[in-house]
Amino acid sequence: MEDEPEALSASKAPGAHPSAAAIEAGRILFAQACDFVAGATKAEALPPPKLPEVAFAGRSNVGKSSLFNALTGRKTLARVSHTPGRTQQVNFFDLGGRLMLVDLPGYGYASVGRTQVGAWSSLIRSYLKGRPGLRRLCLLIDGRHGLKDSDRATMDELDKAALSYQLILTKADEVKPETLEGRRQSIAKEIARRKAAYPEVLVTSAFEGAGVAELRAGLASLSRPTPLR
């Protein structure tokens, strides 16, 4: 995995906010065309890496598809469903020829059998181990519930692999502000002991747009400076 740009160093501290220029850079990047490239259900079907990649993972029904669509400003790029386990493959989206967005199947509960869940888990592990251009994994946590054992198990694997990840609290609009802030602080304290975890826990709402511009700015800093076409 490549080192992050030096420009990120000023925003490493928890609670740091992106500059106006970074926010604008994120807006411009995510306004570009976002094209579906491939969907893989087996490790051998994963497309060869060509762009810096940012992956999105989380428990089933964490709101991953909704946040994915909010980031890109599209309503149907990723399928939104109230049925856990709807994303059944690793999906790749080319964002303006500068960044590859990767939508991973949800882990934890899913409305499928254990065999299928096991196959998804194996596919996710194969992806995470075999992508030299993977710059960061956005690990989505349901803001209504906080960390679960399955989230901690995932973080254990990411720490062992020294794979940079950032925790993103979702569904902020469904939690009272004081409860949400207490949850954010508690999670930030817990992950401070984890070497691969990005220190800032970002709070988002796909419904209200909270945190979306900040997340765009952070991801834009990991992209190619010019399109690869």
Confidence band of 8 (pLDDT split at 50, 70, 90):
very low
Q: How many helices (H) and strands (E) does the chain have?
A: 6, 7
If you count them, how many residues does the chain have? 229
* Residue 45 or 13, more confident: 45
What class does CATH assign to 16-220? alpha beta
Decide if pLDDT at 84 tops 70.
Answer: no
- pLDDT at res. 118: 53
- pLDDT at res. 113: 47
What confidence tens digit (pLDDT) does each residue in 13-29 have?
A: 334 589 999 999 999 99
* Cα 134 from Cα 197, distance rounded (Å): 15
pLDDT mean across residues, the chain: 84
Reported for 148-152, long-range contacts at CB under 8 A and 24+ positions apart, including other chains, are 148/59, 148/108, 150/59, 150/107, 150/108, 151/58, 151/59
- pLDDT at res. 32: 95
Average pLDDT score over residue span 208-229? 94
* Cα 79 from Cα 209, distance rounded (Å): 18
* Residue 23 or 89, more confident: 23
Domain layout of the chain by residue ranges: 16-220
Average pLDDT score over residue span 65-80? 80
Sign of CA dihedral 160, 161, 167, 168: negative
Distances (CA, A) of 85 to 59, 120, 138, 150, 170: 9, 10, 18, 15, 17
* Cα 109 from Cα 182, distance rounded (Å): 26
Which stretches within the chain are classed as H helix?
A: 20-30, 64-72, 114-129, 149-160, 177-191, 212-220
Confidence band of 10 (pLDDT split at 50, 70, 90):
very low
- pLDDT at res. 43: 86
- pLDDT at res. 89: 85
* Cα 100 from Cα 121, distance rounded (Å): 21
DSSP collapsed to 3 states, 210-222 = CCHHHHHHHHHCC
